Structure formats: structure tokens, C-alpha cells
Chains A and B, each alone.
Chain A
């Protein structure tokens, strides 16, 4: 789910029709308006999610203590398991849960600070505190989905998806689990709106131009992408395979020639140089960031799109997804149609 909507079909529709920001975020906290002053804080475009559909999977009583970040995670997890159907291992404890997030539940951290400041240090809310720790979303998912297997939350900024995926892969290879529910979750909060404005000013309004290397065009996004991963077997799978997961350095990486290179380029100039170099080395390259926006977990969306392409049989060429960060690291995830050698 993302600015394009909720569910696989919404993402497919966006692939066909193109995507664009669907909401706005104020660049300052909503300050009290003076009489006669109708102008609220300036707004920036954003790719936002309506988490209301989570009620299809959990009752209000169960969701009463979930923050929005946890709802994004629970909704993403529930949709992936619903879609996986018969692929789900019969014993829930054989499913590992791996959750990656760039900044974690930062909105709840600020809400907890609100409760500290408003209560003058006397009455911060323990419920807000419990939900502000990064692992709380995974806790909610494990409770709702009854997943008693191993659990991991990773927070590695842009490299969160690849870092978490390395461990998901290990768990499968080591035989620790039969399947891994892997997901990334990122949430927009008011402080992020302020930061975009402070960092990028007029350049934070988009639209995202992933290949305009010298232009800052990133538009903030939020959302969740979840995949159920299993060990490769002889059978054809609906969504293909992940054949490589590699953490490397952008300047060292040479994209394979037989693959469509999917760049995580999202309009940030801080790593545009690396993407430019990679795209020059590739035979074909593309970027899907205009569909879902700029967010640390974006690479998981690119993998989900590659999987959908396999299902639709629209793309038989293997895909190589790359995500670069400002420190020169590069996460490489290769996806292919048939079983990897």
C-alpha cells in the first residue's frame, strides 16, 4: 500500500496509469490561527495511505492500541498472507517475521514527547511509550497473525530493505523457518514535512523526476510492502524468485547486462551520481519511484513490482533492483522469472 492505494490491484493500476502524490503535509505544526488569518501552514505534496481498510482484518477492540505505523504493518502483513493463501506453512511458528523501517515509529516517539511536555514531565503515557519503540509494529503483527516464530525489526535508513532481506535469506537457508513474512513500513509525520521544507524548500514539491540527475525533485512517501518468501523449489512460483541479495558499494557495482535495472532513484540529488553511473552501465533501466514516492523502504516496492510483472507475464526479463545511500552503500536485489541456477 502507498500513495497509489491499498492492495495489489491498486499498484497494478498505478503501473498502467502512472502515479502521483495524493495528499499534502503541512510544513509546520498547525499553529493557532489568528482572527482574520485564514492561511494555515504551507503544504507539501505527499504520497499517503489511508489505513482504514485494516478494519477488514482486525476489530476495533484489537486495534484500539495500534498506532498508525502498526496499522500500516498489520494491513501489509494481512494482505500478503491473504494473497499467499495455500502457500502459508501450516504451522504459524514456522514463519519468520522480518520488518524493515527507515525511521521506525517516529510519529509515536513525538506523540510520547507531546505527552511528556504537556504533562510537564509528570504524566507521559505508557501506552504511547510502548508503541514508540521500533519493535512495536512487529509485536502487533505477531499478535494479530499469531506468528510465534523468529522476529526481527531492522532500522538502517535507505539500506533497511537489503539489510533485513539478508537475514530473511539466512533464516531460509539455515532452515530456521519454512517461510519469512518480509515487509517494509515507513510513515510520514509532521516533523518529516518540516524537514523536507527545511532541507529542500521549493524543490520538495515534485513531481519526482528520477532521471533528472541534477535536480532535487523528491516527494515524501509512506506505505508498506510485504512479501511472503520461501525456499526455492522445483515448482514454478506465481511471483518468481529472488536470486541475489547483495550489500555492496555503489562505485564498485557493475549491473548485469541481461537484466532490467530498476533504480531506487527518487529525486534526491545526494545519491544521484551513483544512480547516473549505474544507469549508464545498464542496457535498460527504469525507476518506479513516481508511483510510490520517496521513502527509505522503497526498494521493497520495486521487488513487489518485479513480482507482479512475473505474475502478469508482462516481463520475462530478469530484474536487478538497486538502492543507493548517501554513504556510498548499494543494496542489490535480483528477481527472476524461472528458478535461479
Chain B
């Protein structure tokens, strides 16, 4: 499965987004605030989820904020880490 698709699926399932399906999330859509509407608790949960599901560690929130902007940025972050 495409990494973007997997990310969307994990976000919907692990953050328990009851009324959103993976298909409804656009690649460039803002995950936080306006857009998908994730909040600060989702952000720290996402740090745990990304580490658990993809083995990628996000050290702190300043790193997290950049990575979590959108599915595109998360996929990019994942690729960079996998190559490093």
C-alpha cells in the first residue's frame, strides 16, 4: 500500500476519527486546526502512533509540528528518515 494511504488509515484508526474516512483526507490538507481538525492531544498521540507503526521517532513537538502539517509532509518526513 502507498505510504500516504497507510498514513491516512493509521490516523483514522488510531486517533479514532469517528466521522472521517481515509479517502476524505486530501494529501495536502491541513491535519490540525481547520482541515481535519486534529488538536494538541492528537499531536502527541501521533508521535506515539508513528513510532509504533512506522518505527520513526519524532523527538519533540518542534520537529512534530513540521512533520504533521499534512499527509504530504508526513510522507516526506517518513521517506527522509527511512533513507537516513
Contacts and interface: CB of A to CB of B under 8 A. Distances in A.
Q: Do chains A and B touch in the complex (CB under 8 A)?
A: yes
Given A61-B20, A65-B41, A126-B41, 20 more contacts: A59-B18, A59-B19, A60-B18, A60-B19, A61-B17, A61-B18, A63-B18, A64-B15, A64-B16, A64-B18, A119-B52, A122-B51, A123-B51, A123-B52, A125-B48, A126-B44, A126-B45, A126-B48, A127-B41, A127-B45
A112 to B, nearest CB: 12
Interface string A51-65: 000000001110111
A313 B45 CA distance: 52
A118 to B, nearest CB: 9
A234 B13 CA distance: 54
B19 A61 contact: yes
Contacts of A7: none
A65 B39 CA distance: 12
Interface string A31-59: 00000000000000000000000000001
25 contacts: A59-B18, A59-B19, A60-B18, A60-B19, A61-B17, A64-B15, A64-B16, A64-B17, A64-B18, A65-B16, A65-B41, A119-B48, A119-B52, A122-B51, A123-B48, A123-B51, A124-B48, A125-B45, A125-B48, A126-B41, A126-B44, A126-B48, A127-B41, A127-B45, A130-B41
A268 to B, nearest CB: 37
A212 to B, nearest CB: 45
A217 to B, nearest CB: 39
Contacts of B45: 125-127
Interface string B13-56: 00111111000000000000000000001001100100110000
Contacts of A60: 18-19
Contacts of A126: 41, 44-45, 48
Interface string A92-129: 00000000000000000000000000010011111100
A126 B44 CA distance: 7
Please name the 8 residue pairs, one residue from A and one from B, whose CB atoms are nearest each other, closest first: A60-B18, A64-B16, A126-B44, A123-B48, A64-B18, A61-B19, A127-B45, A123-B52
Nearest to B20: A61
Nearest to B45: A127
Nearest to A119: B52
Contacts of B41: 65, 126-127, 130
Contacts of A59: 18-19
Contacts of A61: 17-20
Contacts of A123: 48, 51-52
